[in-house]
Structure 1
């Protein structure tokens, strides 16, 4: 089993405030939340909502929260929060925006990055796949993997 660095990333002041005064997760109607073809916000699917709730628990547990107003979350704060980790494990929304921006910047800084494909979602299924293919071009610094690959166990 790998020992990845963990940090919860969040946009500034979106959703319910945490004990740190920032939101550990975007709310479903925040900018960046999935939108319908009419441009109106729509809710995340049930499976995504349960995953987001689980990530809220990680953030509430005292894991570092990195708040950046950029698409990519790699920067001095995330580098410091994961400084002793051999690998940076990324999961999130949207694969074709925030995830790829963070992965490329971290790899450019020399960090090995694992992108957990089945723990990410793109703006569309096609854009998700395209972003994963682009990130695969950056091997060996970026590896596209699965939840099972990271945890080393079968998932239910």
Structure 2
């Protein structure tokens, strides 16, 4: 474990957890159970919680995207609140209108970590986008496969397989392996 490793919990929000949202993942309950174990093991000052919010106004390539997913712009249909157990408390809150949550602002807000542990939803979208950007920035990334949920089991695995191609910058691991390692004090 790096002296400057941070846990990033990606978009553990109702819109990705609860049907009838079309973005809800059937894998969410299992991922949530493991992500909560990680949250309990990392101190708040070494944890970042991210939250996706739709852009306002919608511009560029996002226009046809939200034409395909109009529910996501309707507050009565899309609940972007964090799920219980993922409130920021003393953790860093990162809110973005993008799939990827890694950028220079996020990196600085998290204390410029040299390694991150990623868990959350969706493996094949926001986790993937965050992992690739962080790896490109030279940050070691450990993706906790059992603490992530994809749009489907197939999409989840395809995203893990794609990220595994970035080894050794990105490592695919599981919750037990992370918890067996030395955690930050």
- Same fold (TM > 0.5): yes
Q: 1:98 aligns with which of 118, 122, 126?
A: 126
How many Å apart are 1:87 and its aligned residue?
A: 1.1
Displacement of 1:93 after TM fit? 0.7
Equivalence for 1:54? 85
Contact 1:91-1:117 within 8 A present in 2 as well: yes
* C-alpha distance 84-44 of structure 1, shift in aligned 2 (>3 A): same
Residue of structure 2 in register with 1:20 after alignment: none
Q: Distance in 1 between matches of 2:122 and 2:24?
A: 15
**Which of residues 23, 26, 30 in structure 1 aligns to 2:13?**
26
Cα offset, 1:101, TM superposition:
0.3
Q: Secondary structure at the match of 1:130?
A: helix
More moved, 69-78 vs 133-142: 69-78
Q: CA deviation at 1:39?
A: 4.3
Unmatched tracts of structure 2, length 5 or more = 37-82
Shift in Å, 1:85: 2.9
Q: 1:40 to 1:103 in 2, by over 3 A?
A: closer
RMSD (Å), alpha carbons: 2.9
TM-score (norm 1): 0.70
Aligned twin of 1:72: 100
Q: TM-score, normalised on structure 2?
A: 0.60
Q: Which runs of 5+ in 1 are unaligned?
A: 11-24
Structure 1 partner of 2:159: 131
Determine if contact 2:31/2:148 at 8 Å carries over to the other structure: no
Contact map agreement 1:95 1:120 (CA 8 A) in 2: yes
Displacement of 1:149 in angstroms is 1.2
Tell me by how many angstroms 1:131 deviates: 0.4
How big is the shift at 1:78? 1.8
After superposition, what is the alpha-carbon deviation per residue over 1:37-95, rounded to whole angstroms, capped at 9, x for unaligned? x9486898555566443322xx11x1110111000000123211333433111001110
**1:53 is paired with a residue of what secondary structure?**
coil
1:86–1:112 CA contact under 8 A, matched in 2: yes
> Hey, what's the Cα distance between the residues in 1 that align with 2:153 and 2:10?
23
